Amino acid sequence: MSSAAAGQASSSSSSPASQFRYDVFLSFRGSDTRYGFVSHLYNALKEKGVSTFKDDQKLERGKLISPEILRVIELSRFSIVVFSKDYASSPWCLEELQIIIQCMEHENKSHTVIPVFYSVDPSDVGEVRNSYAASFAQHEVDFPDDAEMLRNWKAALKKAAELSGWDSRHKEEPALIQEIVEDVVNKLGRRFSNKPSGLVGIERRIKDVELLLSTGLVDVRVVGIWGMAGIGKSVLAEAVYHHISHKFDACCILKNVRDVAEKRGLDHLRRKLLSALIAEDGLRILDKNLDVLMRGRLRNKCILVVLDDVSNVNQLTSLAGDRDWFGPGSRIIITSKDKHLLEQHEVDSVYEAKPLSESESLQLFCQHAFKKRSRMQEFMGLSRSVVNYARGLPLALQVLGSSLFNMDRGDWESKLKVLEEFPPQDIVQILRQSFDVLDRSEKNIFLDVACFFKGEDEEYVVSILEGCGSSARYGLKVLLLKSLITIQDNKVWMHDLLQQMAWEVVRQESLHEVGMRSRLWNHLDVFDVLVQNTGTKDVESIVLDLSKVQENMSLKGGAFHKMNRLRLLKVCYPHHSGGSEYVLNKEPSLDIDENRGNDAQLSGKFKPLVRKLESLRVIDTTTEGSSRLHMASKLTALSNELRSLHWHGYPFESLPANFYPRNLVEFNLSFSSLKNLWRGNKVFDKMKYMK
Enzyme catalytic residues:
96
Distances (CA, A) of 44 to 41, 50, 79, 126: 5, 9, 16, 28
Whether 461 contacts 476, CB under 8 Å = yes
Whether 136 contacts 143, CB under 8 Å = no
Pairing of strands 644-647, 666-668: parallel
Distances (CA, A) of 164 to 114, 116, 117, 569: 7, 9, 11, 79
Q: How many beta carbons lie within 10 A of that of residue 596, not counting itself?
A: 11
Report how far residue 96's alpha carbon sits from residue 102's, in angstroms, rounded to the nearest whole number: 10
- One-letter amino acid identity for 345? H
The 3-state DSSP class for residue 321 equals coil
Per DSSP, what are the bridge partners of residue 569?
542, 645
Whether 537 contacts 510, CB under 8 Å = no
CA dihedral 177, 179, 181, 187 (to 10 degrees): -150
Distance of CA 167 to the CA centre of its chain: 49
Distances (CA, A) of 417 to 206, 389, 413, 423, 524: 36, 11, 6, 11, 16
Report how far residue 298's alpha carbon sits from residue 59's, in angstroms, rounded to the nearest whole number: 18
Report how far residue 391's alpha carbon sits from residue 389's, in angstroms, rounded to the nearest whole number: 6
CA dihedral 142, 147, 150, 155 (to 10 degrees): 170
Q: How many beta carbons lie within 10 A of that of residue 626, not counting itself?
A: 8
**Could you tell me the end-to-end alpha-carbon distance of the chain, in angstroms, rounded to an integer?**
90
State which H helix or E strand residue 468 sits in: none
Kindly report the backbone phi and psi dihedral angles of residue 669, in degrees, each rounded to the nearest multiple of 5, phi listed first. Answer: -120, 45
Pairing of strands 676-678, 582-583: unpaired
The 3-state DSSP class for residue 432 equals helix
Q: How many beta carbons lie within 10 A of that of residue 335, not counting itself?
A: 27
Whether 213 contacts 244, CB under 8 Å = yes
Distances (CA, A) of 487 to 25, 333, 475, 493: 51, 26, 13, 6
Burial of 319 (0-12, 13-18, 19+ CB in 10 A): buried
Report how far residue 263's alpha carbon sits from residue 82's, in angstroms, rounded to the nearest whole number: 44
Q: What is residue 576's DSSP assignment?
A: G
Q: What is residue 455's DSSP assignment?
A: T
Whether 70 contacts 109, CB under 8 Å = no
Whether 456 contacts 491, CB under 8 Å = yes
Sheet holding 331-336, edge to edge: 250-254, 303-307, 331-336, 221-226, 349-352
The CA-based angle 164-169-174, given to 5 degrees, is 90
Phi-psi region of 295 (alpha: psi -120 to 50; beta: other; left: phi over 0): alpha
Write the DSSP assignment of 204-252 as a string of letters: HHHHHHHHHH-TTSSS-EEEEEE--TTSSHHHHHHHHHHHHGGGSSEEE
